[in-house]
Structure 1
């Protein structure tokens, strides 16, 4: 997994190499400024103050100020470039995640609610984006700082510099153990946050039951319990971070004290000047600072590693199978299910099912609840695949067809119509490729003009999420118009009249048959009122279809 993380980092560096090279150049310039600081400070003390040369002190002080200003300008430029790289990386990662999400099997969405999916993707993308954080990219600057700091220390006094080098393994051990604990806690946070998102989404989706059963207090207690678990882990993380910082500060303090003692002894023996001691302290910071940052990279990575692992696992999830062949919409002749079987665990809901559906057929499939009618629709649409048997269209196995191309053959009006939070027009013409006059003509023929005109802005009116500002019957009518606009050769209707009275149901079916008189219609229904609109009736029972005379 560590190799995969390194690979992600290398790919990011290559993708944004122009900006990263610019960042590296600024790090080199900043390191040169850092190297100059102790020299100027030493000169101020040994050449200026010791000799009481105010003009020299003044000139060197101005030079020191310019160096500080230059450092800050470099830091600002670094921050700007680093933020651009990080934001672009996260944006690209989210785009890749969204593309992957659209190709996943339907079972993934059945197992994870929308709140959980969104929270997980955004959290993991944001955490993974830190792999191109300024702290990691600046490793080159740290290396240069270590080299320049080491050279400065050795040139001043190689014996005293050994003291500084001895503290490096001490810092490493502190960070190593803290990073292990931090990684463990980060994994716990990810698990608990995911559980909370799933719980929260479940509550929002079931808000009617919460209100109906007066579950406010019970769900409030569950919320507090969920939050306490997350807050407890976050508290532990903050303490681990504090222990790490305190340990590092303590090591630096001990090193500084020992440097004062050693430096003071050398000054008293005339082997070092005051300016050289101060310069030595500055160089030791130039060395230990980058060393601390490099060692702390392990601690930093330990916090993002679990998110990277989860995102990599997400990208490895199985996608919907898709072949390469294509079929033109107008070429549809026949659809054959041959010995098709599908099971949920040990329960076979479709068992060696055989049926042939030809162009222009109008068929109804009836059966009791739970016998597999919805499963049959999902098999036809390629949302799930048979565990045995084959589905053919025009003699071709649908597994050999491009899935998106195959689904273009179908229009669907489901029992639970889904409408996007968008304009009415965009909900009718989902692909945004239909002529406006044609849309108006379809709407007029199917009697939804009254629905359109009652909305404030007609076709530009906002439809609330899932059509919350429309009745069930109105949503059903819009779904039919949307299906007609798609121009699929096969129309599947899943309980199409569930929201209609007898007269409205009859009118609805008359419009369907008229619009699809030369095309194929498959109706899943419990409503005997629509059976006189079809040519063939099949009963689904014990996983098999039986023709009803």
Structure 2
């Protein structure tokens, strides 16, 4: 940086001896020295620029890597409610696009700003040394630019923030579009989606043009002010040269330094405007990094055998809307507990509380004698495996999907696949458990995907299983085989089954019937058929659907 700035000043300085010694005094000796001095100056300057760019880029990349790591680390600590209310594309945009803007500042703008500022100081010192009066005259117009530059910077910050928000919206729309591509094509609404995309894309274009106009107004403004200064110096300096008070070399050296001085001043002004884009990006980034998770783990590790889970007068609401009301029940080791009820009854809310995706408004949930709030989130969730109706399949091999998050033990993977009734189709694949799966598992059937998800849950060997409509995509034969396998697994586990088809929970030790967030009945299958009207109603509905 010092080399680059010093090289710029030396470039202006060498004009004086070139003109005075070679062209006016006709000093042949200097003719052999100054060309080599010029080469040395520009070599010195170029090496300085290279070193500055290399090390600034290195630092910028390192900072960006750390910020991205820190952002994702923080995002992953946030509660489920945060993700339910945020669009995934927005989070992707902040993690990728906004952080990239910080990289441009650290690796490009700040070093450039420092180098140009240093160049200004050195050149300013040089023209003050050559002729203090002319130096003051040349800079008299600069204060006129202060107020307009300040206004442009404020406008640029607002435009940058708006532009980044709109880019986030566009990223979110693309994410939603590609995730819903089957629905889009099935409904023939490609033109409709394209039109919505175009509207947002054109709005970004419009805001971007405003930002360019705002940024580029700096350059002509500084050029015009510079021309007034140059005109004044040429007039006053020309009179000095004619009067013999100043040499031609000194005048041109001063004029060269002045032109070189206005270039970094103009650059610094423009960079200050562009920095507002990074300021807006940093505000969006640190709004995430500074946010505290609403669900925080305790200090107690759940390392012992879980004998009992107890809900004691638990209530829960989402944004003020009641979801569970005074729920109390106990689940013991070796029990299969089924949760049934109409949609909105509260089944999924109980699952959310077990995983501590949410905290109850009132009441207590305990694992053995440990209050759930006192347990570390890691040890709690390591004790639970969940399979939902919505199956999550990664773009990786079958083995990696089954062993997700853990080391791959091939024998254990195969055993889990067999228990999940998935080994038959996996064994027929050319690469077996090492067969790659497409994104979202598009090269597997719905039933195959669900069996892979069940195998993943079995592979974890947890103390608690949660099956939330986990066999809904399976045929009757596969469902029966998996149910039999789960019967064996459940002997040493606590198993929660959320079911719509009541046939799958006939052998449950306890069935909890929920309606509008309350437990209306609780007991074994036959007992409920005999004494619970709501269960009879649900049973009648499933019989009709069957």
Q: Same fold (TM over 0.5)?
A: yes
Q: 1:212-223 maps to which residues of 2 (within 5 A)?
A: 212-223=186-197
1:362–1:520 Cα contact (<8 Å) kept: yes
Equivalence for 1:325: 300
Equivalence for 2:238: 264
1:86–1:129 Cα contact (<8 Å) kept: yes
Q: 1:169-184 maps to which residues of 2 (within 5 A)?
A: 169-184=143-158
Structure 1 length-normalised TM = 0.90
Equivalence for 1:200: 174
Equivalence for 1:473: 447
- Structure 1 distance, partners of 2:32, 2:141, is 36
Residues 491-529 of structure 1, C-alpha deviations (whole Å, 9 max, x = no match): 111112211233322221001111232211110001121
Q: 1:38-53 maps to which residues of 2 (within 5 A)?
A: 38-53=12-27
- Structure 2 distance, partners of 1:232, 1:140, is 32
- SS of the residue corresponding to residue 299 of structure 2 reads coil
1:495–1:524 Cα contact (<8 Å) kept: yes
- Structure 1 distance, partners of 2:28, 2:108, is 40
Q: CA deviation at 1:153?
A: 1.4
- Give the aligned length: 522
- Structure 1 distance, partners of 2:115, 2:473, is 68
Q: Say if 1:466 and 1:197 are closer, same or farther in 2 by CA, change over 3 A.
A: same
Residues 519-545 of structure 1, C-alpha deviations (whole Å, 9 max, x = no match): 111100011211222111110113122
- Structure 1 distance, partners of 2:256, 2:72, is 49
Equivalence for 1:73: 47
- Structure 2 distance, partners of 1:198, 1:344, is 24
Matched, 1:412 2:386: yes
- Structure 1 distance, partners of 2:196, 2:397, is 37
Moved more, 388-397 or 432-441: 432-441
2:344 to 365, 370, 376: 370
- Structure 1 distance, partners of 2:22, 2:285, is 59
Equivalence for 2:57: 83
- Structure 2 distance, partners of 1:445, 1:197, is 41
Residues 23-50 of structure 1, C-alpha deviations (whole Å, 9 max, x = no match): xxxx223333233223321011111110
- Structure 1 distance, partners of 2:427, 2:370, is 45
- SS of the residue corresponding to residue 351 of structure 1 reads strand
| CA RMSD after TM alignment | 1.9
Equivalence for 2:125: 151
Equivalence for 2:500: 526
Structure 2 length-normalised TM = 0.91
- Structure 2 distance, partners of 1:255, 1:202, is 56
- SS of the residue corresponding to residue 497 of structure 2 reads strand
Q: CA deviation at 1:465?
A: 1.7
2:216–2:270 Cα contact (<8 Å) kept: no
- SS of the residue corresponding to residue 131 of structure 2 reads helix
Equivalence for 1:14: none
2:402 to 413, 428, 433: 428
Matched, 1:242 2:219: no
- Structure 1 distance, partners of 2:19, 2:292, is 68
Matched, 1:344 2:324: no
Q: CA deviation at 1:433?
A: 2.6
- SS of the residue corresponding to residue 210 of structure 1 reads helix
Matched, 1:507 2:481: yes
- Structure 2 distance, partners of 1:121, 1:388, is 36
- Structure 2 distance, partners of 1:434, 1:72, is 53
Q: CA deviation at 1:444?
A: 3.2
Unaligned stretches of 5+ in structure 1? 1-26
- Structure 1 distance, partners of 2:124, 2:500, is 83
- SS of the residue corresponding to residue 488 of structure 1 reads coil
Q: 1:112-131 maps to which residues of 2 (within 5 A)?
A: 112-131=86-105
- SS of the residue corresponding to residue 246 of structure 1 reads helix
Matched, 1:459 2:433: yes
Q: Say if 1:447 and 1:205 are closer, same or farther in 2 by CA, change over 3 A.
A: closer
2:317–2:323 Cα contact (<8 Å) kept: yes
- Structure 1 distance, partners of 2:212, 2:273, is 13
